[in-house]
Amino acid sequence: MARKVKRRQELELSIENVAFGGKGIARLDDYVIFVQNTLPGDRVRARIRKAKSRYAEAYPLEILQPSEMRGEAPCSHFGVCGGCKWQNVDYQQQLLFKRAHVEESLRHIGKVESDTIHPVLPAPDIYGYRNKMEFSFTHSRWLTHEELQDETIKKDFGLGFHVPGHFDRILNVDKCYLQGDTLNGILNLTQEFFRDAGIPVYHLRTHEGILRFLVLRKSFAQNKFLVNLITSEAIPEAMEQYADKLCEAFPEISGVLNTINSGVAQVATGEDYQVIRGSETIFEKLGDLTFEISVNSFFQTNSIQALELYKTVAEYAELDGEVVWDLYCGTGSIAIFLAKQAKKVIGFEIVDNAVKDAYRNADLNKVDNCEFVAGDLRFQLQKHSDNPPGVLICDPPRAGMHKDVLAEMLRLAPKRIVYVSCNPSTMARDLAVLTQDYKILEVQPVDMFPHTYHIESVAKLERI
């Protein structure tokens, strides 16, 4: 029988497991309580933040007995910044957590046998692996409890990450371990320059001010960088001075851009951008393929592990000259990666600019058997059914696939489906539908994001 709790109630809890999302799981009878920033084996005093009929959410006030899994996190922002939930956990243990999350979702929702799920493919680099980072400006940075005790620290300008659960609170970040030294150097120079420049930060409530976001991109193949400053209006004189300082300090920078976002939506894109210095693109390699990445292009955030992910897709596809459909193809990286083994690849993508990038990357790699189609998949798949796929690849967004798309996939009846996902729950939901006509042969989780709970998975399905 469920035991009820109330908001703000304090409880002593033992953490039994960890949920997808990184929160620890405690129980009172059969009532589940999710406790943030905890690990299996912790005994904590926690306060209830939210109480529902079937579960509650809480945060720890005190670690009464620490788990043996707990270690020291190298980052000084750990515990406040929400990016790395598990930086204080041994990497091999992180991989066990991630496989368990994939197995639990697929077994309970998708009815997948656990022995078809392989151990997680680990990342070779667990720090400095990201090729894209996004930071937000603030006029009133978030102060930690320790900083509040120091009267010399002022709650003023900052550039960093959103504090979890707060859209308007930004933690100033001087070093992020998920990006390399050069990107951290660019971040620090940007903080120093705009702290002294006197340019007002965009206010999320009044919608006044100028400075909004900083987006950094890196090419691991070339060791080159793009710097994109997003502002509410053009600041040409300041941008010239900023670009001069950047390029002098970091000659590896390929381009400095200024994107204008005059709307109220808090997104790090805009209606127009200007190249202040250098180029608007960088080039990344996956194996022997080269991809041109513009300031707003989608590309897998971990370049090194992306290659391993695509190798798994190619292995599961078992191509031998078939027609391949690539659903949610983005900028065409999977389609181009598979093109040599296929008769033809047709990629489907709803974003027009992504399709333009896909054609440009196909030309760059001299691939002439790829076609890319822009539009809503629910309608485009039927239009192209006169050239049905022998093998179908899908890499949907976190929310998974629309039921109409799943129905069309079953009607098309390709002999093999390779499903790529970044969300075990929605993947399991979709696979449960596809197993009406398909058998799941194997699932390979791939760790693209060490120290976080995120996990990519590739499933191989064959028609019964």
Domain that holds residue 54: 10-65
Predicted pLDDT at 114: 73
Determine the residue type at 434: L
pTM for the full model? 0.92
What CATH code is carried by the domain that includes residue 41? 2.40.50.140
The CA-based angle 308-95-435, given to 5 degrees, is: 70
Among 110-119, 401-410, 425-434, whose mean pLDDT is lowest? Answer: 110-119
**Percent residues over pLDDT 70 in the chain:** 97
pLDDT, tens digit (0-9, with 9 covering 90-100), for 121-137: 999 999 999 999 999 99
Distance CA 276, CA 212 (A): 17
Residue 1's pLDDT is 41
Question: Residue 252: its pLDDT value, please?
Answer: 97
pLDDT at 394 over 80: yes
- Give the residue from 45, 65, 85 where a domain finishes: 65
> Is 425 found in the same domain as 312?
yes
Residues 6+ away with beta carbon under 8 Å from 347:
325, 326, 329, 332, 335, 355, 358, 370, 371, 372, 373
Query: Looking up tokens 């998708």, which residue turns up?
Result: 110
Domain termination site, one of 286, 314, 349? 286
Same domain? 105 vs 142 = no
Q: 16: closest CA among 8, 28, 5?
A: 28
Under 8 Å between Cβ of 447 and 424 = no
**CB-based contacts of 366, cutoff 8 Å, min separation 6:** none
Quote the CA–CA distance of 339 and 317 in Å, as a whole number.
12
Percent of the chain scoring above 90 in pLDDT: 81
Residue that is last in its domain, among 253, 286, 319:
286
3-state SS class at 347: strand
Check whether residue 265 and residue 147 sit in a common domain: yes
The CB density around residue 57, as the number of other CB atoms within 10 Å, is 17
Sheet holding 24-28, edge to edge: 10-14, 43-51, 55-65, 31-35, 24-28, 17-18
Residues 103 and 248 grouped into a single domain: no
Q: Which residues contact 361 (CB under 8 A, 6 or more apart)?
A: 290, 291, 292, 331, 332, 333, 336
Predicted confidence band of residue 193 (pLDDT cuts 50, 70, 90): very high
Q: Is the same domain home to 238 and 176?
A: yes
Buried b (16+ CB within 10 A) or exposed e, 29-46: eebbbbbbbbbbebbbeb
CA–CA distance from 237 to each of 71, 240, 330 (Å)?
47, 5, 36
- Per the CB < 8 A criterion, the answer to whether 171 and 187 are in contact is no
Estimate the share of the chain in helix, then strand, then coil, as percent rounded to the nearest 5. 25, 30, 40
* Residue 156 located in a structural domain: yes
Which token pair is 393? 């690849």
For residue 404, being part of any structural domain is answered with yes
Confidence at residue 455, expressed as pLDDT on a 0 to 100 scale: 96
Is residue 185 predicted with pLDDT exceeding 80?
yes
Identified catalytic residue from 176, 370, 394, 422: 422
Segment 10-51, tens digit of pLDDT: 999 999 999 988 899 999 988 999 999 999 999 999 999 999
**Residue 58 sits in the same domain as residue 176:** no
Which residue bears the tokens 């100033």? 172
pLDDT of residue 434: 95
Task: Tell me if residue 247 is catalytic.
Answer: no
pLDDT in tens, 306-316: 999 999 999 99
The number of beta carbons lying within 10 Å of the beta carbon of residue 184 is 18
Report the C-alpha gap between 289 and 308 in whole angstroms. 14
Q: Which residues contact 152 (CB under 8 A, 6 or more apart)?
A: none
Report CA Rg, the chain: 24
Which pLDDT value is given to residue 4? 77
pLDDT at residue 151, as a whole number: 65
Q: What pLDDT score does 297 carry?
A: 84
Residue 330 pLDDT > 80: yes
